[in-house]
Chain A
Amino acid sequence: MDLLAHLPALQVVVPMLSAPLIVLLQPRGLAWAGATAVAVLSFAIAVALSIAVLDGQTIEYAMGGWPAPYGIALSVDAFSALVLLVITGAAAAALLGAKPSIDQQIEVERHPLFYSAWLLVLSGLVGIVVSADAFNIFVFMEISSLASYILIAGGPDRRALPAVFKYLMMGTIGATFYLIGVGLIYMMTGTLNLADMEARIGDVTDINPILVAAGFITIGLALKAAVFPLHVWVPNAYTHAPHMVTVFLAACATKVALYVLIRFDYMVFQATLDAHEIQFAIFMMPLAILGILIASAVAMFEGHLKRLLASSSIAQIGYILLGVSFVSMAGLSASAMHIFNHALAKGGLFLAVACLAYQYRDLRLDQLGGASTRMPWTCAAFVVCGLSLIGVPGTAGFISKWMLINAALETGPWGWGLVAIILVSSLMAVVYIWRIVEALYFQAPVEGEAPLSEAPVQLLLITGLVAVLNIYFGLFPQVPLELANSAAALLLEGSR
């Protein structure tokens, strides 16, 4: 048996089957160890898959040996490998450092259930990415969403509950819209396989249902991906979730919906619908620009650390979407690159927040005074990841911003305007990151508080590691860059 050939299936099956087993690991600490081992194994599988597709080929896998249009197919190409790396990397890194923070925030007897839900989120997210079947994407989307509602509501903060309820409403509406779109396409083409859909839409005589389906799918997935102005569920859900859950979800959850959106709009629709790329660009570009500017502006005036970073996430989704809406090789690879780099930067920032939250009960900026002397390493890691978020040369964030600017210049006379928008929003990022740095380094400590010390070593090590990776991938971006470039080539090849 060739194990490599089964990796796409194992990627989903390993976390999914481990999830119910984790529930049985009642003794203290065992559930964490089991879940972490599974997440690290998933990451190893993702790395193996990435190496296999690095030269631009696609791995097809027929579930149960049933061939593609009839059976359920999985497929992994460079784009999915990049997103798989982000998902499994975020899950593994967050879990490796999670124990102290989770012990503090969640009662011990609920730990097995919590880690089980974590693995369900992981298996749902990777399932979305490897699946080549429109309906399976829906099912995996619901698996990951339902489990992530549980994770977010699992913390001690009661405000998480209304936030989750709102997320549940909007998430379900988004998924149902997607389901309507898939149904309409199935009605006209008789297939659910994405590649088969692309081939058959061209033969459809009445194109109107397909156009309606394109609208439903785009809106539904935009809702899931928190594209401005459909982002209202994000700030509260990220702010009140347990800190480690925020690390995991902020790094990858919305990007997976964006991945499906890109896949549908490039692979399925653009190849077959007349002038779809123009409609897509005209519809998405203003939303991306508004999202970048408004969410950055909101972040500049936000007083709560986690809420500020959540607003910044919405702006970053805008960057990814802006690159996609250029419908060009450069734009798409910039977007794919930003998916990777933003996960590194924002994951690192939220890890540092989790370190701070371990010692500080209140995460409002005016309560964080004196953190730099009490927790120097945490603050240093925060600054490095913050620089990467801004896009300072030498950090990972710079690479994708630079690529995005180059792609914007290629778009023609409007390019300079787009570059101006990117630069203005980067300045806004400087402002909001500086506000946090000022609070951490230059603000007087709040009176009457007991002296605090550094975060636990386990959490701190992971935070430091992610910060170092931000610099490493800023200096040596070859591997993600190669994946991003082949991803863009595959997407554009699909559309022409």
Chain B
Amino acid sequence: MNFLELLGYFNYWVFAIILTVGLYAVINKTNLIKKLIGLSIFQSAVFLMYITMDKVEGGTAPIIQKGVEDQIFSNPLPQVLILTAIVVGVSTLSLGLAMVVRISECYGTIEENEILDAD
């Protein structure tokens, strides 16, 4: 595989890097808000993967126009799927933030190690 071919997978490299960065933050950070930020980054990486694979070179939105017959379309299905996944991601994030608020009310801290010490 030569350099240009590797470059051709640019979006997938970015996907893999963002995914790993997010996962690292989830595992390594002790602050719960930072963990949630990591989780969001982790999920965004998947959105990028879905959006990348539906792109057809020169393709446009799948809308039938009068008089244009040989139009190339990008695949709309992954976009629909990822719209749903974004909604799921938003609800997960908001529920997670609500949990952090409750934790902060009950424990007075959002640092994981301090919470473990408190019990």
**A residues in contact (CB < 8 Å) with B:** 135, 138-139, 142, 146, 149-150, 153, 158-159, 161-162, 164-165, 168-169, 172-173, 175-176, 179-180, 183, 186-187, 192
Contact = CB atoms under 8 A, between A and B. Distances in A.
B112 to A, nearest CB: 8
A454 to B, nearest CB: 32
The 8 closest A-B pairs by CB, nearest first: A158-B106, A187-B53, A142-B88, A161-B103, A162-B115, A165-B99, A161-B102, A172-B92
A146 B92 contact: yes
A183 B46 contact: yes
Contacts of A142: 88, 91-92
Given A173-B42, A180-B49, A153 B99 contact: yes
Contact of B92 (A135, A168, A186, A192): A168
A159 B92 contact: no
Contact of B106 (A149, A161, A176, A180): A161
A149 B99 contact: yes
Given A142-B92, A146-B92, A173-B23, A183 B99 contact: no
Interface residues of B, number: 31
A60 to B, nearest CB: 22
Contact of B43 (A138, A172, A192): A172
Determine the main DSSP class of B at the interface with A. helix
Interface string B13-42: 000000100010010000010010001001
Interface string B54-93: 0000000000000000000000001001001100100110
A183 B48 CA distance: 11
A68 to B, nearest CB: 16
Contacts of B39: 169, 172-173
B109 to A, nearest CB: 11
A228 B116 CA distance: 23
B64 to A, nearest CB: 18
Given A164-B99, A165-B100, A176-B43, A158 B107 contact: yes
Contacts of A187: 53
B46 A146 contact: no
Contacts of B91: 142, 146
Given A142-B88, A146-B95, A172-B92, 13 more contacts: A142-B92, A146-B91, A149-B95, A153-B99, A158-B106, A158-B107, A159-B119, A161-B107, A164-B99, A169-B35, A173-B39, A180-B46, A187-B53
